Chains A and B, each alone.
Chain A
Amino acid sequence: MKINLDIPKNLQFRAFYMFFIMIGAIIGVDMIGSPGIIFIRAGHDSWISIILAYFYILLLIFTMLYILRQYENADILGIQTDLFGSFISKAIGIVYIVFFASQILATLLIYIEIIQAFIFPESNSFVLGFMLLSLIVYSLLGGLRVVIGVVFVFIVLSSWLLLLLIQPAMQMEFLNFLPIFDEGIPAILDGVQATAFTFTGIEVLFFLYPFVQDKDKIGKPLFWGFTSTAFFILLLTVISIGFLSAPQLERRIWVVLNLYKLQTTPIIERLDYIVVAEWMMVTVPRVILIMWCVIYILKRMYQIPKKYSVYGLAILLLCIIPFFDQHFEIQNLIESSRIVAIRLVYIYPFLLLPLVLFKKSRKNKEN
């Protein structure tokens, strides 16, 4: 496996799109439930957990960037090969594939579950999965140019959802946040861990980095992309805590949709239906990005052509989807995916850093 990649110019994209890739890769459908999940752990101090998580992940992102910059134009697979050799690198690659596959599956399943709970109780998860996956396959077959285009355009098209948060924000009850630091440090740290599933997606940087055209400019879009994402999650959590009471937050699964529930307009009475439908444009970019990474790994490690891996993966996922029809099964999947994420996404890069620096210094000495 080659360590450094030679990407033709027509496959590269401007660093500016990293802003949208960060948003698209992190914000998915789990956002709808995450304020409730964090609240259960950290109570009304959840916002502190999110801010702590933000600083930790910001450090992580720039560590990742620092690792990547030690090489000419390499992705994580090339770096692993350089450090551990081909065999271990491929093994970690398989861990990545399984982890990504569980992420895709979880994202699709949560969205299908929301549709079934809110709009069509009787609908078939196979058909819904088919619709979502056909969108994903269709964009993946267009190549990286289309993938990033879909991420960008879908985020732009769904950004109006933010406007609907104004009304619940106006009706917030600030007493819900008091007293601050009431829950205690362990609970807050527990809350930080609970954000782990929500913030996954940053790892796409490890795979997309070689495709960036102007690499010296990548810092700003990365920073702002992640900051605005974290701010959005913070906003959702704060509004949820302020708007709903503690028992409501603990009892309800999809907290964010409750925020949209009371909105009406003269033409459309229940906007939460529209929000659930519009959330397709939030879900799909995340799945597309992660699935692109899977296909990329397969192509780089095993030289599997894109066409086979896209269709194969889509059919595999489609066959698995109908088996997860209980809420607790999906929760189990999310929980195990979260545990892998903590190790693979949030700790692994920090372990990688000293190795990369060690290797580099040895190389320099040899020269």
Chain B
Amino acid sequence: MRRLKKHSSQSIFPTSIEKLKKKIESEFLKSEDVAFTVYQQESKKIVVFYIAFLVDQQKVEEMLLKPLLDMETPWTGQSILDEIPLGGGQTNSDTKNIIKGLNSGDVHLYVENEKHLITYQLAKSEKRALDKAETESIVIGPQLAFTESIASNLNVISWRLNTPDLAMEKFMIGKRNPKETRMIYLKSVANETDVNTMRQRLNELDLDMVEDIHMIKQYILDNSYSVFPQFVATELVDRAMYTIKEGKIIVLIEDSPLALIAPSTFFSFFESTEDRYFHWNLSSFIIGLRFLAAFVTLIMTPFYVAAITYHYELIPSQLLISVGESRAAVPFPPIIEVLILELVIELLREAGARLPSRVGQTIGIVGGVVVGTAAVQAGITSNVLVILVTFSALASFATPSYIMGNTIRFIRFPLIILSGFYGIIGLMFGVSFLVIHLLRLQSLGRSYLAPLYPLRLADFNKVFFRLPEQWQGRRFLSYQPKDKHSFPNKKAMERKDIGK
């Protein structure tokens, strides 16, 4: 009873066209964008109104207006709905709903003195087509990337994982501007605790608006004081597919071309989809190279500072001569010298990333080559250090994840300062501290350093090296998936040919 009363008090119908127009104009903020058109059939008047830039104009003209004006039966709400069977046609009488509909691209029709208004959904949202991945560049393998439209992302995922097992839970995040968010996982594989944790974290989000998945990522992190990224965000469709198959969860949100992978380990930031497409021996080599590069980036310049400042005995005498010669003219202590040069490299990277690509390249060459050479000739830095700094910057770009690469370069600065103050002991202290920090971190409640700790030797095969593909039957066991095997190992090893 109560509900009915409320309903009738809000309804303004039946009404005249003039009144309706006034009502809309008074209540709607973007009223100048609303296009009102009045048509007449004998004595009956009809008004069609919508926001021009939110609807597909061509569809409105061809599929709505043309049949409407050609209609031979008299215009009533029911006859229009019957004669123009466009998708989403419905009657509507609530002013609030009408205005909300206007905002999301609905076309409203109103025949004068009718009880209801007719609404068609002819929205058009501008989106780019599916495209190649830009930020995660790969050489071989599928290059398809997600786009900003969640509808097309869901379409892509559903076609690729065409199984009834695929769960796509829907959330609306944002109070003022709710955005569709999806949590996608394989029901029979993903660990239930992880799914529940993620669901709870997404449900508890009480935000105003969300711009991008990176914002959500920062709200649902386990430790927001850490520099380390705790969830991988990928734009590659095949990587997202692979992680779903492994039993992890991905999160997609409207207007973001990235998928969040949870839980993630420290080592998953050093993964590339190509590792799985190359031969196992080759990709083992490349994985090893990446870890070596990350280690070199972290250690090289701090070690230089420690050795040159305090422990020159560490450097073999042959090498010491050339290092000493190159440093003879340099007026600064090693720590200042290294900090200056490292900052210059960081500046070059940042400038190169912010500038348009052509200018960026030029700046890189000018900065790197010209300034580097001039600095050495002017005796501000030693050329050995220029080599080391460039080498470690190069090594840092071998990390496939851009965020992780930046993190590693950032951590180097405290390490440089520590080695400047306490030499190799300071460096060791920094590294130990880092390891303890990584051990303390968690991602979605799972250990960040898995499978190293807690130790699972079976998972090493996916993280530190790769075995031939028939050995890969086990899923990532550290996350305790419900279904532990993706295929039986023994059967795959047999490899029987029909001919034999």
Question: Which residues in A have some Cβ–Cβ distance to B below 8 Å?
Answer: 14, 16, 115, 119-120, 123, 127-128, 131-132, 134-135, 138-139, 142, 145-146, 149-150, 152-154, 156-157, 264, 266-270, 273-274, 276-278, 280-281, 284
A273 touches B313 (CB 8 A): yes
A281 touches B314 (CB 8 A): no
Selected interface stretch from B86-94, B421-429, B484-492:
B421-429
- Which residues in A have their C-beta under 8 angstroms from that of B310? 119-120
**Can you list 14 A-B contacts (CB < 8 A)?**
A119-B425, A131-B429, A138-B433, A146-B439, A150-B435, A152-B453, A157-B435, A266-B316, A267-B316, A268-B316, A270-B314, A277-B425, A280-B428, A281-B428
Say how far B461's CB is from chain A's closest CB, in angstroms.
Answer: 18
Contact of A277 among B427, B440, B453 (CB under 8 A): B427
Contact of B439 among A16, A115, A139 (CB under 8 A): A139
- Which residues in B have their C-beta under 8 angstroms from that of A139? 436, 439-440
B449 touches A264 (CB 8 A): no
B316 touches A142 (CB 8 A): no
Say how far B397's CB is from chain A's closest CB, in angstroms.
Answer: 23
- Which residues in A have their C-beta under 8 angstroms from that of B455? 16, 152
Cβ < 8 Å to A, chain B residues 419-461 = 422-429, 432-433, 435-437, 439-440, 447, 449, 452-455
- Which residues in A have their C-beta under 8 angstroms from that of B311? 119, 270, 273
Q: Secondary structure at chain A's binding surface: helix, strand, loop or mixed?
A: helix
Task: Using CB atoms, name the residue of chain A closest to B424.
Answer: A277
Complex Cα distance A312/B316, Å?
A: 45
Complex Cα distance A157/B452, Å?
A: 11
A146 touches B316 (CB 8 A): no
Complex Cα distance A128/B436, Å?
A: 18
Q: Judge whether B387 is part of the interface by a CB distance below 8 angstroms.
A: no
- Which residues in B have their C-beta under 8 angstroms from that of A266? 316
Q: Judge whether B38 is part of the interface by a CB distance below 8 angstroms.
A: no
Best-buried of B310, B316, B449 by chain A (most CB within 10 Å): B316
B453 touches A115 (CB 8 A): no
- Which residues in B have their C-beta under 8 angstroms from that of A157? 435
- Which residues in A have their C-beta under 8 angstroms from that of B440? 138-139, 142, 146
Task: Using CB atoms, name the residue of chain B closest to A131.
Answer: B429
A150 touches B424 (CB 8 A): no
B429 touches A280 (CB 8 A): yes
- Which residues in B have their C-beta under 8 angstroms from that of A132? 429
A135 touches B313 (CB 8 A): no
B424 touches A274 (CB 8 A): yes
Say how far A197's CB is from chain B's closest CB, in angstroms.
Answer: 24
- Which residues in B have their C-beta under 8 angstroms from that of A149? 439, 447, 449, 453-454
Q: Interface 1/0s, chain B 406-423, versus A by CB < 8 A? A: 000000000000000011
Complex Cα distance A273/B315, Å?
A: 11
B424 touches A135 (CB 8 A): no
B452 touches A269 (CB 8 A): no
- Which residues in A have their C-beta under 8 angstroms from that of B317? 269
Question: Which residues in B have some Cβ–Cβ distance to A below 8 Å?
Answer: 310-311, 313-317, 319, 422-429, 432-433, 435-437, 439-440, 447, 449, 452-455
Complex Cα distance A342/B319, Å?
A: 51
Task: Using CB atoms, name the residue of chain B closest to A143.
Answer: B440
| A-B interface, 4 closest residue pairs, ranked by CB to CB distance from nearest | A277-B428, A149-B439, A142-B440, A269-B316
Task: With A115-B425, A270-B311 given, name 20 new contacts (CB 8 A).
Answer: A14-B454, A119-B310, A128-B425, A134-B433, A135-B433, A138-B440, A139-B436, A146-B439, A150-B439, A152-B453, A153-B452, A153-B453, A156-B452, A157-B435, A266-B316, A269-B314, A273-B314, A277-B428, A281-B428, A284-B432
A131 touching B313 in the complex, CB below 8 Å, given contacts A152-B453, A280-B432:
no
B432 touches A281 (CB 8 A): yes
- Which residues in A have their C-beta under 8 angstroms from that of B428? 277-278, 280-281
Contact of A131 among B319, B422, B424, B436 (CB under 8 A): B422
Say how far B424's CB is from chain A's closest CB, in angstroms.
Answer: 5
A154 touches B424 (CB 8 A): no
Complex Cα distance A281/B435, Å?
A: 10
Say how far A327's CB is from chain B's closest CB, in angstroms.
Answer: 20
- Which residues in A have their C-beta under 8 angstroms from that of B432? 135, 154, 280-281, 284
Task: Using CB atoms, name the residue of chain A closest to B435.
Answer: A153
Say how far B263's CB is from chain A's closest CB, in angstroms.
Answer: 16
Complex Cα distance A22/B313, Å?
A: 36
Task: Using CB atoms, name the residue of chain B closest to A157.
Answer: B435
Complex Cα distance A79/B138, Å?
A: 62
- Which residues in B have their C-beta under 8 angstroms from that of A131? 422, 425-426, 429
- Which residues in A have their C-beta under 8 angstroms from that of B314? 268-270, 273-274
A153 touching B429 in the complex, CB below 8 Å, given contacts A139-B439, A142-B439, A273-B424:
no
A135 touches B436 (CB 8 A): yes
Say how far B301's CB is from chain A's closest CB, in angstroms.
Answer: 15
- Which residues in B have their C-beta under 8 angstroms from that of A142? 436, 439-440
Say how far A109's CB is from chain B's closest CB, in angstroms.
Answer: 15
Say how far A72's CB is from chain B's closest CB, in angstroms.
Answer: 26
- Which residues in A have their C-beta under 8 angstroms from that of B433? 134-135, 138
- Which residues in A have their C-beta under 8 angstroms from that of B437? 138
Say how far B198's CB is from chain A's closest CB, in angstroms.
Answer: 18
B315 touches A269 (CB 8 A): yes
Contact of A135 among B316, B422, B429, B449 (CB under 8 A): B429
Complex Cα distance A123/B426, Å?
A: 12
